[in-house]
Amino acid sequence: MSTLINPTTGVELDHSPASATLVEADAAIARAHDAFPAWRDVAPGERARLLRAFAAIVDAHLEELAQLEVLNAGHTIGNARWEAGNVRDCLNYYSAAPERLFGRQIPVAGGTDVTFHEPLGVVGIIVPWNFPMPIAAWGFAPALAAGNTVVLKPAELTPLTAIRIGELAVEAGLPEGVLTIVPGKGSVVGERFVTHPLVRKVCFTGSTGVGKKIMAGCADQVKRVTLELGGKSANIVFADTDVAAAAASAPSAVFDNAGQDCCARSRILVQRSAYDEFVGRLETAVRAFRVIDPADEQSEMGPMVSAGQRDAVQAYLDTATVAFTGSAPDGPGWWLPPTVVETTDTRDAIWQEEVFGPVVAVMAFDDEDEAITLANDSDYGLSGSIFTSDVGRALRVARRVEAGNLSVNSHSSVRYWTPFGGYKQSGLGRELGPDAPNAFTEEKNVFIAH
Ligand code: NAD
């Protein structure tokens, strides 16, 4: 693996894990396959107990995991603690699934008909660098609960927390081979999950471009696949809302995690009669946004994950007309200030493309229909927000916006106990929520003649 760098300082980290070779990836898959029959046959209550033990040990190492993420990914310490806690919470939530993996009994003539949810076997989980801990857990917690074994590839830039979580799983008592972390390249380890016949499902989170390749590759074996891809989510602000509150909450909805968030509300649509007031208040809020050392408890935004990501975002800004920015530290590290662009042309790259950095485009609209048309004028459909004091309008608009996760008068979108996923090119399938374990099973129907 190439050398890991602390994004806050630009200084190399002491240890960079080795990249797995193709042979090592195959060996990990083989071990996961060998571990599968025994894991499938662990009694439901015992599998539940092991997952709760795993959750407890993650909780006991919460601060260590959080500090590791600040170091490796430049996440603010507040976010990193939430992320490690989210791993614990996902494990606790899905630890209730083994005893509740219900089938159905369906009335038929001449016998009894029952269904079973059978685990798939080895599941391959491919994780991006933007939320290394939660996205890993959204895959492995329900997959393990349903009786599968897991091989998991963290992103090249951010493998450290996943490797540590893999060690904690073994300490908690999960048998060897049940959860194996395989750090390495997407083109080697990730592709092997797609091509290896013993991997029965690929659960991919990352860019839409790579997701399309993975879906095409999985087609070859009719391999099960879940895709969580990019986004260009709209924050729709109607003039009948509390404009001050909407403007105050808009920066964190897009600049959290330095905008490296698939759910970032990176397009703000504001009804024309409230536009000037909103943009004025937004400027105040953006200038006050604390972009400082992510290890500082007060930090609201840290650096970009890498020099490459910072340069990619800067390339968008080089051709855009910036309205105003917040601040960012000078000196080493991959910093960019939160940046606001006012747009009138929906063909602008900054309006259409997922910038994946601390950049937001703002545009005016006249009425509800136009707001919905503009919001849906995107290949993506992951999340979005609607600010209005009219409950009828909130529901009308929420039903018509083509996105998987919407919030009204707030920006929350990911809870481990509610479903998460995208419309259109934002993805395929859903993660999280009560049904997630079923996505890691085959439904089997058995008829017993009387
Ligand atoms: P990426 O697609 O470059 O990489 C994601 C993962 O895929 C990495 O682990 C990478 O090594 C691996 N990979 C790369 N090429 C591969 C290949 N050919 N075969 C198999 N695996 C391969 O994405 P990224 O730059 O790490 O992450 C940012 C992207 O992720 C953004 O587009 C963002 O919107 C998206 N994302 C989506 C969600 C969601 O839930 N929808 C969540 C987080 C991030």
- The response to whether residue 230 sits with its C-beta less than 6 Å from ligand 1 reads yes
123 pLDDT above the threshold of 80:
yes
CB atoms within 10 A of CB 276: 11
Residue 40 lies in a domain: yes
Same domain, 165 and 225: yes
Query: Could you tell me if the CB of 218 is within 6 A of ligand 1?
Result: no
**15 is a domain residue:** no
Domains identified in the chain, total number: 2
C-beta 231 within 6 A of ligand 1: yes
Q: Distance, CA 307 to ligand 1 centroid (Å)?
A: 17
Angstrom distances, CA of residue 367 to CA of 119, 236, 244, 372, 384: 49, 11, 20, 9, 18
Q: Give, for ligand 1, the residue of 127, 133, 138, 207 to mutate: max count of ligand atoms closer than 8 Å to Cβ.
A: 207
Once rounded to an integer, what is the mean pLDDT over residues 244-253? 98
Judge if 365 and 403 occupy the same domain: yes
156, 181, 210: residue to mutate for ligand 1 pocket, most atoms within 8 A of CB: 210
In angstroms, the Cα distances linking 259 to 231, 277, 423 are 11, 24, 20
Stretch 122-130: mean pLDDT: 99
What DSSP character marks residue 177? T
The CB of 190 under 6 Å from ligand 1? The reply is yes
Work out the pLDDT band at 412, boundaries 50, 70, 90: confident
As given in the structure block, the two tokens for residue 31 are 């071990």
**255 located within any domain:** yes
- Which CATH number is 390's domain given? 3.40.309.10
Q: Atom 30 in ligand 1: which residue has the minimum CA distance? A: 206
Confidence of residue 290 (pLDDT cuts 50, 70, 90): very high
**Residue 8 belongs to some domain of the structure:** no
Query: Is the distance from the beta carbon of residue 186 to the nearest atom of ligand 1 less than 6 Å?
Result: yes
In a domain, 346, yes or no: yes
Same domain, 407 and 432: no
Residue nearest to atom 32 of ligand 1 (CA): 207
260 and 118 together in one domain: no
State in Å: Cα 20 to ligand 1 middle: 18
Note whether 312 and 405 are same-domain residues.
yes
146: Cα within 13 Å, side-chain hemisphere: 27
| Helices assigned H by DSSP within 61-157 | 62-73, 77-94, 132-145
Please check whether residue 57 lies inside any domain of the structure. yes
Quick: pLDDT tens for 377-395. Answer: 999 999 999 999 999 999 9
Residues 408, 300 share a domain: yes
For ligand 1, whether the C-beta of 356 sits within 6 Å is yes
Domain housing 183: 22-229+426-449
88 with 32, same domain?
yes
192 CA distance to ligand 1 middle (Å): 15
What is the DSSP code (8-state) at residue 174?
A: P
Query: What's the pLDDT score for residue 445?
Result: 98
Percent of the chain with pLDDT over 90: 99
Q: Which of 130, 192, 215, 405 to mutate to test the pocket of ligand 1 (most atoms within 8 A of CB)?
A: 130
207 CB less than 6 Å from ligand 1? yes
What residues have CB less than 8 Å from 219, skipping those under 6 apart? none
Mean pLDDT of all residues in 273-289 = 98
Question: Tens digits of per-residue pLDDT, 181-201?
Answer: 999 999 999 999 999 999 999
Residue 338 pLDDT > 70, yes or no? yes
In this structure, the residue with its CA closest to atom 39 of ligand 1 is 228
Q: What pLDDT sits at residue 1?
A: 60
User: Is the CB of 189 inside a 6 Å radius of any atom of ligand 1?
Assistant: no
394 within a domain of the structure (yes/no)? yes
Give yes or no: residues 245 and 207 share one domain.
no
Q: Is the CB–ligand 1 distance for residue 206 below 6 Å?
A: yes
Give yes or no: 228 in active site: yes
Q: Output the residue whose Cα is nearest ligand 1's atom 13.
A: 186
Q: Could you tell me the distance, in angstroms and rounded to a whole number, from the CA of residue 127 to the centre of ligand 1?
A: 6
pLDDT in tens, 87-106: 999 999 999 999 999 999 99
State whether 210 and 256 are in the same domain. no
Q: To test the ligand 1 pocket, which listed residue (72, 90, 126, 232) has its Cβ within 8 A of the most ligand atoms?
A: 126
Q: What mean pLDDT, rounded, does the chain reach?
A: 97
153 lines ligand 1 (CB under 6 A): yes
Residue 264 CB–ligand 1 contact under 6 Å: no
Residues 371 and 437 grouped into a single domain: no
Q: Is the pLDDT of residue 15 over 90?
A: no
CA angle 134–137–139, rounded 5-degree value = 115
Count CA within 13 A, CB hemisphere, residue 308. 3
CATH number of the domain at 58, please.
Answer: 3.40.605.10
Kindly report the number of other CB atoms within 10 A of residue 44's CB atom.
14
User: Tokens in use for 315?
Assistant: 């390339």
- List 69, 83, 228, 300, catalytic entry: 228
Q: Is residue 272 part of a domain?
A: yes
Residue nearest to atom 20 of ligand 1 (CA): 190
Task: Verify that 239 and 116 share a domain, yes or no.
Answer: no
Q: Which atom of ligand 1 is nearest to the CA of 210?
A: 2
Kindly state whether residues 187 and 272 are assigned to the same domain: no
Q: Which residues pair with 363 in a beta bridge?
A: 269
